[in-house]
Structure 1
């Protein structure tokens, strides 16, 4: 999805090869599916924990749908807790994934570099996005596709993506 669900936290690593990423509780906008169909809550207070283990990884969610009253009072409408488990597999037909990465890795390195610069060179940043989540991530992915199909170089595609990123990201001074 787009960075509307982004969070920042360090990874922790233990001696058994288990690494966990758990950001603090953060308020997030409604999921697209709810933003267009519901009006009974205003924001989600969310924690998403990712734990990588030798056999795969887990994604745990602990989310509260919150109602924010006009006087600023906040109350929980419902709490959702979920666990997704992913196991490493040996894919026999993973050539397309390897081909994609080989063709686009330089482009994605530039995109990651853009966000690395934001994270280390600013007090913070805010990303504007619409409820459909397509104004930012869709065109950035499409630029990567042009690299894959040889329509653009990584540098040309990144110049496009950078223009879009700059138009939707506000740096906090």
Structure 2
């Protein structure tokens, strides 16, 4: 765990005092974010650390998880105030899975914060509260929302990291196995390293009621280690993205329309017993936008 004794606003002030303008600081941030692109061997590690269940006899903690993957991180969008990174998981040269996506927005004021039960609350932040910050918006494999948070990138003592705490749905590794909690409070640290980058987590497994009251059920530690390898090892994913990027742009454009409503969002868990990703993964690369639009419309609960 990185010690964060120096508050982030003080870090910003120190940067300016030492001759780093806000613009040069922003360029450092952009360099760190874009350095997460490329081909990576990834080790996924999670362990439940503490349990607080009142039923200690019957409570079943999650098993310690160690997994491995090869991922290509594609730079999809690169503008001064928005950077989009799409993760592609390589199972084999002939099997590529569109994985999660992370968007980085500079001084963003619009957040969809996860509440519970497939519902996200829209929040409008004050500009002064996000000055110099980057919002990380994380999306599911079907580009539906997952979690979002805003914080300052920190570049001190040879370290480059971004740290934030936010609420999220159950992780993919648990949502089909656990139903005894409904919110994961994620303490995320994404740190750039000499060999790639790390995603470190200290998470709370929460039971949240309809009034937003939380009960802590358990805690876990996570460490995903991304080690940079030659881009040629991820050639299959690069080719897959070239063939499929048009249909997924249609999907993102539809979601942008949904998010632009700037109001709370609730999604159905399934339609005709199929989850959203299953419908979208079945689309052909040349599928029309109207087809993907209709699929997403079927999952958005009308307010």
Shared fold, TM over 0.5: yes
Q: Which residue of 2 aligns with 1:141?
A: 281
- Bigger shift: 87-96 or 3-12? 3-12
Where does the alignment leave 5 or more consecutive residues of structure 2 unmatched?
A: 1-139
- Do structure 1's residue 33 and structure 2's residue 172 form an aligned pair? no
Contact 2:146/2:168 (8 A) holds in 1? no
Please give the alpha-carbon distance, in whole angstroms, between the structure 1 residues aligned to 2:200 and 2:152: 16
- Do structure 1's residue 80 and structure 2's residue 220 form an aligned pair? yes
Where does the alignment leave 5 or more consecutive residues of structure 1 unmatched?
A: 36-40, 148-152
The number of equivalent residue pairs is: 155
Q: Give TM-score scaled by structure 1 length.
A: 0.68
Please give the alpha-carbon distance, in whole angstroms, between the structure 1 residues aligned to 2:263 and 2:159: 33
Contact 1:21/1:49 (8 A) holds in 2? yes
Please give the alpha-carbon distance, in whole angstroms, between the structure 2 residues aligned to 1:44 and 1:20: 22
Please give the alpha-carbon distance, in whole angstroms, between the structure 1 residues aligned to 2:203 and 2:146: 14
- Quote how far apart the aligned CAs of 1:46 are: 1.8
Please give the alpha-carbon distance, in whole angstroms, between the structure 2 residues aligned to 1:48 and 1:166: 32
Please give the alpha-carbon distance, in whole angstroms, between the structure 2 residues aligned to 1:96 and 1:134: 28
Alignment of 1:8-47 (within 5 A): 8-10=148-150, 12-14=152-154, 18=160, 20=162, 22=164, 24-26=165-167, 28-29=169-170, 31-35=175-179, 41-47=180-186
- Quote how far apart the aligned CAs of 1:136 are: 0.6
| Aligned residues: CA RMSD | 3.5
Alignment of 1:55-70 (within 5 A): 55-67=195-207
